[in-house]
Structure 1
């Protein structure tokens, strides 16, 4: 028996649930084409801002024994660069799975502008709005500002009629799971992506008695093994709180088939890989697919739907 990883997501069928996490191996057309030709089931663009951004000064990424710390500063080629890529891809592959298109405006006004342009475009694929990005000075990122989150989605869904998901920061309190779920359930969202990196961690190099990345005096987002328990908690919390029509993408700490199995068991439908992809390259998808199939075969599962979301409580 060989398990099938076939995954249905938003009326599309994917050979497996694996994708890159936005921000990793998706900056250029060349990198996006690498993903297209890889074993990944789907892929997503770099989060786009209106204009091209160089990002923060380097070093801005550092691999640690348990993951990574980064403060990239949203480097990207600009909105039009990625819109041209996804629309061209759509034209050339009319029956294929079009890449997800990630946008991350630096303000509500910019997000409205970007999403308005997508709504007016020929692109019919899935858009991901990154809510775990800066808001205004002195305020937290949008995903931690519940009023701004609701205002943003209210404004967006007045005009946006195409499939839209949101990328969320990690939450750490049941009250916050409840508040955010209540807000999200008011809107026709396609999915939520749980989670972005844990913000503002600090890693110290004892030899040099220094921080390891340059931006923000060494403060940066934490990814990899560190964040898997937090990511699983957020996947589970939103899977059990959101309307069934809102799917969950699991992101955080996926570097093995077991990690993927855990995310799916908690309720994720698609899975995004960040730190492991950065460190290992696109061959990671082939390995993850093989390892997940091995676990499913061992447990006697023929499909992911047989166990998705069926985490047991004690």
Structure 2
């Protein structure tokens, strides 16, 4: 019997597929839809301390090979998502969900995390170090000194299961440097990758989104090779206790298979979910199971991380 069950951070999930933060997760209603689909779990919209309207529209555009967006962290604020998750824990105590969050400053990040630490939330927390679309703010994860400082401070008080959402890295030495930092801490997972920052898409003679004169994060088919490289690079470098969530360019079961082959324990859908809706989870799960059956694999562990090289 072929199974796509998985374990991440010590928690079991019936399916390795879930949404990516930013897609189908802004409201409780959207999160309920993901929860009730064949997805193994969901992650909330990345929450800041207070409600944010985000960047002016149009700020998201589907394009032929993916998407471009400059959302600007629109979200309902931490309390909205935390209260919902606490209520959900009462309703469905046997399931585990992800809370994504980030501060607009290091101090706000600590304020948020301390609020979560003091709560009864018992799921997984994703600290987003890769917000590429807030004007005037660099991505934290590209500043290794700042990343190490924030994680050092966070783990002085935070005891709940914590992972980090990462932007794509493009240089081997950066994989080495980032992994050396992450391996110092009791992280449960890293999520590779967020969109490739500051792409530009043009139709006729105009950009297609308003913020930042059209510059935005690129998702979808464009980014799968980059996402796979990041998943595998960190699978090779991180201590075994730090698992990997693969995100980027997952349109088919084959794409999900490749993320797991590169080392991912869970796989997130972003652009495909935005374009296709809940049916994407069912379709991709069935396609993944078909590939596994054809190859004689019964569980994800049979092929996870077993990417073959050319001698």
Settle same-fold status: TM greater than 0.5. Answer: yes
Aligned residue in 2 for 1:150: 148
Q: Secondary structure at the match of 2:198?
A: strand
2:237 aligned counterpart, secondary structure: coil
Residue number in structure 1 paired with 2:80: 81
Q: Which of residues 122, 139, 142 in structure 2 aligns to 1:141? A: 139
Structure 2 CA distance for aligned equivalents of residues 136 and 233 of structure 1: 25
Match of 1:167 in 2: 165
Counterparts in 2 of 1:138 and 1:38: CA distance versus 1, 3 Å: closer
Superposition deviation, residue 151 in structure 1? 0.4
Residue in 2 that maps onto 1:269:
265
Distance in structure 1 (CA, Å) of the matches to 2:137 and 2:248: 25
Aligned-residue offset at 1:140: 2.8
2:245 paired residue number: 249
- Name the structure 1 match of 2:10: 11
For 1:21 and 1:71, the matched residues in 2 are separated by: 16
CA contact (8 A) 2:70 2:133 kept: no
Kept after mapping to 2: 8 A contact 1:14/1:42: yes
Q: Does the CA contact (< 8 Å) of 1:89 and 1:98 recur in 2?
A: no
Residue in 2 that maps onto 1:32? 31
- Does the CA-based 8 Å contact 1:204-1:211 persist in structure 2? yes
Matched-pair contact (CA < 8 Å) for 2:18–2:267: yes
Q: Deviations over 1:218-255 (max 9, x none)?
A: 00000000000000000000000000000000000001
Moved over 4 A (4+): 134-139
2:221 aligned partner:
225
Q: How many pairs are equivalent?
A: 310
Answer yes or no: is 1:302 the counterpart of 2:302: no
CA offsets 1:261-283 (integer angstroms, 9 cap, x no match): 00000000001100000000011
1:258 aligns with one of 254, 258, 261: 254
- Equivalent residue, structure 2, for 1:120: 118
Number of the residue aligned with 2:199 = 201
Is the alpha carbon distance of 1:38 and 1:50 closer, same or farther for their aligned partners in structure 2, counting shifts above 3 Å? Answer: same
Structure 1 residue 133, shift from structure 2 partner? 2.4
Root-mean-square deviation (CA, aligned residues, Å) is 1.3
- Local SS of the residue matching 1:240: helix
Report the counterpart of residue 70 of structure 1 in structure 2. Answer: 69
- Structure 1 46/311 Cα, relative in aligned 2: closer, same or farther at 3 Å? same
Given the superposition, is the C-alpha separation of residues 176 and 117 from structure 1 closer, same or farther in structure 2, using an over 3 Å criterion? same
Query: 1:311 is matched with which residue?
Result: 307
CA distance in 2 between counterparts of 1:98 and 1:56 reads 31
**1:93 Cα deviation after fit:** 1.6
TM-score (norm 1): 0.97
When the two structures are superposed, what TM-score results if normalisation uses the length of structure 2? Answer: 0.97
Q: Distance in 1 between matches of 2:181 and 2:256?
A: 28
User: CA separation in 2, counterparts of 1:67 and 1:236?
Assistant: 22
1:121-172 superposed Cα distances (whole Å, 9 cap, x missing partner): 0111100000012699866310100000000000100000000000000000
- Report if the CA contact (8 A) 1:60-1:72 is conserved: yes
Structure 1: segments with no counterpart, 5+ residues: none
Please list the CA deviations of residues 93-116 of structure 1 after superposition, one character each: whole Å capped at 9, or x if unmatched: 22x222200001111001000000
Q: Distance between the aligned counterparts of 1:17 and 1:65, measured in 2?
A: 27
